[in-house]
A = this chain, B = another copy of it.
Amino acid sequence: MHLYSFFNDYSEGAHPSIFAVLEQTNLDQYAGYGEDSLADEAKKLIQKHIQFPDAAIHFVTAGTQANFITLAAMLKPYESVVAVESAHINVHEAGAVEATGHKIHAVKGVNGKITIPEIQQVLDFNHDEHMAKPKVVFISHATELGTIYSRQELTELSAYCREKSLYLYLDGARLGSALCSSEADLTLADIAKLVDAFYIGGTKNGAFLGEAIVICNKELQENFRYILKQRGALLAKGRLLSAQFIALFQHDLYFQLARHANAMAGKMTKHIESLGFPFLTPSATNQIFPILPDTLIARLEKLYGFYVWSRIDTQHSAIRLVTSWATPEEMVDRFLEDLAKSSQDVSFSS
């Protein structure tokens, strides 16, 4: 057993305030399958936060589900998606998008982010009916490597996609952390204006489960519930999702929780940098990827849970440390102490 797990941001259950709303509403009778009055309330709260009253909002249980359902709604049978190689849909969804019949064109990206020239290259290459037809650009914010898009980057990407008649879709599994990053200059309202659809991740930011799909582009709003039902995403007790989003968005909870997660990761980053260790990517969100000597990693693994992410050279690897709304600061401190101590030992011994 580890002292603490930094494996991910979904090791604990739900934030107590979320629990409270579930408990308050528990014995009331509500309509099923997402047509409950709590859903109306939760949607209004989100529409207000994103400053987009015409957005259609649907609650689903998980990110993979949010992704393949929204992409399926966007695509004709022969249309395809452009994404970076490290994109969740490309590597960690067991071929879910392909299982709905669509190809993903994977491009290299830079620090987990897609670039316009890469998309253009895909368009240039896939130019006739012998190839799949690119129609959606998929991005994650924060990316799978902890980085975020700047306002300028997303604005340019959005303009490019609109010019090329491509839809822009944003995976917001860790949207809270991205928005609350110390380097963030993008707001929820900006995003809603710039993309065609996105989702606001609840599971990795304090909810038991729940992602809010937001469809900004009106031409994509029609009959969306049919796809939700067909793909198994409509819950009989949809209230379970809407109640949690009320808790997250009626006050500032969604942002508070993300700020805490970021603060914990930031503290780690600062300390690890001060010890002289480099990072795989520049991240100001709740996932960080320090590069450490393998001997040091081996020591830390005895005490803490985390993934060894990628090998750097014969003696060093990047690890992934993830913090969350639930990460106790004392555990961060303890980890940093142990890191400092082990680091010293290692350097003495080597």
Contacts and interface: CB of A to CB of B under 8 A. Distances in A.
Interface in A126-160: 129-133
Contacts of A230: 77-78, 93-96, 99, 132
Contacts of A94: 78, 129-133, 226, 229-230
A219 interface: no
Nearest to A34: B129
A231 B99 contact: yes
> How many copies of this chain does the complex contain?
4
Given A29-B4, A129-B226, A240-B208, A98 B93 contact: no
Given A129-B94, A203-B237, A237-B13, A231 B232 contact: yes
A27 B12 contact: yes
Contacts of A233: 232
B64 A234 contact: yes
Contact of A229 (B13, B80, B96, B226): B96
A235 B65 CA distance: 10
A19 interface: yes
Chain A binding surface SS class: loop
Interface residues of A, number: 77
Interface string A66-87: 0011001100111010000000
Contacts of A111: none
Nearest to A66: B232
B95 A80 contact: yes
Nearest to A208: B240
A93 B31 CA distance: 18
A172 to B, nearest CB: 14
A313 interface: no
B131 A236 contact: no
Nearest to A27: B12
Contacts of A76: 223
A98 B72 CA distance: 13
B68 A232 contact: yes
Interface of A: 4-5, 7-8, 10-14, 16, 19, 22-23, 25-33, 61-65, 68-69, 72-73, 76-78, 80, 91-96, 98-104, 106, 125, 129-133, 203-204, 208-209, 223, 225-237, 239-240, 305, 326
20 contacts: A10-B236, A12-B26, A12-B28, A13-B28, A16-B26, A62-B234, A73-B77, A78-B94, A78-B95, A78-B229, A80-B98, A91-B131, A94-B229, A95-B230, A96-B232, A98-B102, A99-B230, A203-B235, A232-B232, A232-B233
Can you list the 3 inter-chain pairs with the closest CB atoms, starting with the nearest?
Answer: A65-B232, A95-B132, A78-B226
